[in-house]
């Protein structure tokens, strides 16, 4: 797929849902990684889903969470 086609589709999707701020494909990719982490996926799974060769690259995206112990949930938190 041509990169410009993907960028245009991304821009159109953001417009359709009423986003005011510009959202790049990279921003959406980082948000995807952050959501996976928030939902309890381990960093190796996130690395695989993002297609990163090195786990340290995958660890850059979710740095924004930085919640300490409150960022870790127990399975009993979801019952």
Choice between 66 and 18, residue whose per-residue pLDDT is larger: 18
Quote the CA–CA distance of 19 and 77 in Å, as a whole number.
31
pLDDT at 46: 86
Q: Report if residue 78 sits inside a domain.
A: no
In a domain, 69, yes or no: no
Q: Is 72 among the domain residues? A: no
More reliable by pLDDT, 24 or 64: 24
Distance from C-alpha of 37 to C-alpha of 31, rounded to nearest angstrom: 10
Range of the domain at 39: 3-64
35 is a domain residue: yes
- 14 in a structural domain: yes
Q: Does this model's pTM top 0.75? A: no
Q: Of 35, 38, 36, 30, which is closest to residue 60 (Cα–Cα)? A: 30
- Identify whether 73 is part of a domain: no
Tell me how many domains the chain contains: 1
* pLDDT mean across residues, the chain: 78
Please check the confidence at residue 5 and state whether its pLDDT lies above 90. yes
């Amino acid at each position: 797929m041509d990169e410009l086609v993907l960028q245009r589709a991304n821009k159109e999707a953001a417009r359709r849902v009423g986003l005011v701020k510009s959202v790049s494909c990279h921003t959406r990719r980082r948000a995807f990684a952050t959501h996976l982490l928030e939902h309890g996926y381990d960093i190796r799974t996130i690395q695989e889903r993002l297609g990163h060769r090195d786990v340290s690259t995958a660890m850059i995206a979710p740095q924004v969470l930085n919640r300490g112990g409150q960022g870790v949930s127990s399975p009993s938190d979801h019952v």
